[in-house]
Structure 1
């Protein structure tokens, strides 16, 4: 296929995809705003707070919706070209199905990069900032379902945090330290804990430390204590951001943290694999759209196929969530849970292309 045709296809697909993405973002932003209405008026949360919160989570929506927009945009662009017999002219001119697929893969590489950039560098900090904004606006702290607060295992220690503030500092911290025989060595209680700017650990303030020394205990109080730990603010960020909205680096660090402490990391491993696989879903969506362009119905074909594309996109969106939950419940291999939705749609695209070619 000549460069002229490639540029022509790229222009049509990029334009249609951008239009679909804007439409989806407007729709989901409306739904997000409706969800925030119940909180308006409580604890100082006002209308402008809700609007800013909805705007701040839009990058996460871009990441989620881009493959769906690619499917519908590609489907619309190719179906429109087929309606005007342009696809037929291309095929008569010697453009095979494989050449068309390679061309679409080249065009779709931009979507792969955009999805990865939004998922890794834009959406995670925006989501974290949005949650911090909402907590600050409502004068709230990060809560935990347990009345005793948050519990985290950190090597030979168990850490209990009563409150995690929006700036990821901690209040009412208790650190239980054990030896290799699981004998309690000490309990350190701190009023507040802040992470050092140089990344060298936590600064505990208002510390009361109880040491168990065999036949007696020793209680000391110090105004400040330095605590080096693998528990970082990035690890604490999991309290405010869903695993699917975290970056690959944060997920990788937290999975390693859970493994080192012999804790279940299935949910976060599945999220990690999904972050690695999801950008390539745009290529699968474009391959799925191609078979529809090989048949052109001059009356009403475009609207019907776009509606079908919307249904397929919604199905892909739901399957991603479904297989993530099934993977956690059934302890599937994380790669299997993350890859299955894309593989199902890729197989469907291959079957449809084979059927169209046979005809």
Structure 2
């Protein structure tokens, strides 16, 4: 006889929370998109980059921004939704009816579960697709020498030289390109040489090709040489190339996995891709754990400091969790701990702290 009541309770709590999450989500994404649009306006006039293209660029990145902002929106919306129930007395009524804080928090997590799955799918489909289209639009308008091809391949021109790279990533001030081909032409468009390299690293103003095979062509013959490393003189703007590289946190799982396999096969450092891969795997779990552990701050809002105090404490918890996660993941990278294991520790610590709280304040 009690199960229907529990279903009604879940519906009541879920609707209150999801409504607040939706309003918070749209507001945060709109503010973030407007902030980026203001920044892009400063780029208008560079090449053929117009105000219309700036607006299109921002709109194409909106799906990715929805994905990024969901965790903060779920946390703040969960606190606001339960705070609204507390202000109306409904939360007190639920507690008086015998529902524990743990049970009410489970209703919040249940309501957000389906939405979290949908957001995870967004981060694997429309988010990366829109980001690639936005980067391609921006590069094509701002420069005639750098372009993104289908699949994220990077093409650039430096005088009579054409360069292509299958993928790339940035690390601090370094730019690392993988699957590099360098085509050198003469003034009449004839191919003089082709260099195929596993990668190219730009650091401290110089380019270095790794494991490069260079073939020089003449009307009568072709001659090939192999080098473990070779200097590459190029006037390419590394900042413009960096703008054309899709950041690891914006890549879907399939692209991250492909990059990890490629770098591992060539005995190169794949830590940045591996960290991004496991961070994306744990993303839905981390969101639900964070919301589940933060919503207790909404209880008793009217009795001790008001909702603003609880909201502030919840946001502090979110920032603390993010700092803890970054610290543990970076510690794992330095000490050779697998990224999957390193990403497991922060939510487990938070869950342990939450259950200790629930046992003391059931």
TM-score normalised to structure 1 length: 0.71
Name the counterpart of 1:227.
none
| Residue from 300, 308, 312 that aligns with 1:307 | 312
Shift, 1:131, TM fit: 0.6
Give the secondary-structure state (helix, strand or coil) at the position aligned to 1:39.
coil
Written as runs of structure 1 = structure 2, the 5 A alignment for 1:270-285 is 270-285=275-290
Please say if 1:16 is aligned against 2:43: no
Please say if 1:106 is aligned against 2:127: no
Task: Please identify, of 52-61 and 316-325, the stretch whose mean Cα deviation from structure 2 is larger.
Answer: 316-325
Name the counterpart of 1:263.
268
Written as runs of structure 1 = structure 2, the 5 A alignment for 1:111-130 is 111-130=115-134
Please say if 1:244 is aligned against 2:249: yes
Q: How has the CA–CA distance of structure 1 residues 36 and 327 changed in structure 2, closer, same or farther, with 3 Å as cutoff?
A: farther
Matched residues in 1 for 2:127 and 2:44: separation?
24
How many residues align? The count is 301
Aligned partners of 2:181 and 2:195 also within 8 Å: yes
Q: How has the CA–CA distance of structure 1 residues 347 and 50 changed in structure 2, closer, same or farther, with 3 Å as cutoff?
A: farther
Matched residues in 1 for 2:95 and 2:296: separation?
13
Matched residues in 2 for 1:32 and 1:84: separation?
38
Shift, 1:129, TM fit: 0.9
Q: How has the CA–CA distance of structure 1 residues 189 and 255 changed in structure 2, closer, same or farther, with 3 Å as cutoff?
A: farther
Give the secondary-structure state (helix, strand or coil) at the position aligned to 1:297.
coil
Aligned partners of 1:6 and 1:103 also within 8 Å: yes
Q: How has the CA–CA distance of structure 1 residues 77 and 186 changed in structure 2, closer, same or farther, with 3 Å as cutoff?
A: closer
Matched residues in 1 for 2:326 and 2:135: separation?
22
Aligned partners of 2:135 and 2:243 also within 8 Å: no
Q: How has the CA–CA distance of structure 1 residues 266 and 63 changed in structure 2, closer, same or farther, with 3 Å as cutoff?
A: same
1:68-110 alpha-carbon deviations (Å, 9 max, x no partner): 1011111111122123332222122222344334323321211
Give the secondary-structure state (helix, strand or coil) at the position aligned to 1:210.
strand
Task: Please identify, of 41-50 and 346-355, the stretch whose mean Cα deviation from structure 2 is larger.
Answer: 346-355
Name the counterpart of 2:214.
187
Q: How has the CA–CA distance of structure 1 residues 40 and 67 changed in structure 2, closer, same or farther, with 3 Å as cutoff?
A: same
Shift, 1:174, TM fit: 1.6
Matched residues in 1 for 2:54 and 2:318: separation?
28
Q: How has the CA–CA distance of structure 1 residues 127 and 300 changed in structure 2, closer, same or farther, with 3 Å as cutoff?
A: same
> Which consecutive unaligned segments of at least 5 residues does structure 1 have?
164-170, 178-183, 191-205, 214-235
Give the secondary-structure state (helix, strand or coil) at the position aligned to 2:214.
strand
Matched residues in 2 for 1:69 and 1:276: separation?
19
> Which consecutive unaligned segments of at least 5 residues does structure 2 have?
148-153, 168-177, 184-190, 199-210, 227-240
Name the counterpart of 1:137.
141
Aligned partners of 1:128 and 1:237 also within 8 Å: no
Q: How has the CA–CA distance of structure 1 residues 334 and 173 changed in structure 2, closer, same or farther, with 3 Å as cutoff?
A: farther
Name the counterpart of 2:52.
48
Name the counterpart of 1:175.
196
Give the secondary-structure state (helix, strand or coil) at the position aligned to 2:57.
helix
Q: How has the CA–CA distance of structure 1 residues 99 and 312 changed in structure 2, closer, same or farther, with 3 Å as cutoff?
A: closer
Q: How has the CA–CA distance of structure 1 residues 152 and 292 changed in structure 2, closer, same or farther, with 3 Å as cutoff?
A: closer
Q: How has the CA–CA distance of structure 1 residues 340 and 239 changed in structure 2, closer, same or farther, with 3 Å as cutoff?
A: farther
What stretches of structure 1 move > 6 A for 4+ residues in a row? 147-153
TM-score normalised to structure 2 length: 0.70
Written as runs of structure 1 = structure 2, the 5 A alignment for 1:1-359 is 1-140=5-144, 141=146, 160-162=180-182, 174-175=195-196, 187-188=214-215, 209-211=222-224, 240-297=245-302, 301-316=306-321, 327-328=332-333, 331-357=336-362
Matched residues in 1 for 2:212 and 2:313: separation?
64
Matched residues in 2 for 1:241 and 1:297: separation?
47
Q: How has the CA–CA distance of structure 1 residues 28 and 126 changed in structure 2, closer, same or farther, with 3 Å as cutoff?
A: same
Q: Which structure is higher in RCO with an 8 Å CA cutoff and minimum separation 6?
A: 1
Matched residues in 2 for 1:40 and 1:185: separation?
39
Task: Please identify, of 309-318 and 77-86, the stretch whose mean Cα deviation from structure 2 is larger.
Answer: 309-318
Aligned-CA RMSD value = 3.8
Q: How has the CA–CA distance of structure 1 residues 325 and 186 changed in structure 2, closer, same or farther, with 3 Å as cutoff?
A: closer
Name the counterpart of 1:203.
none
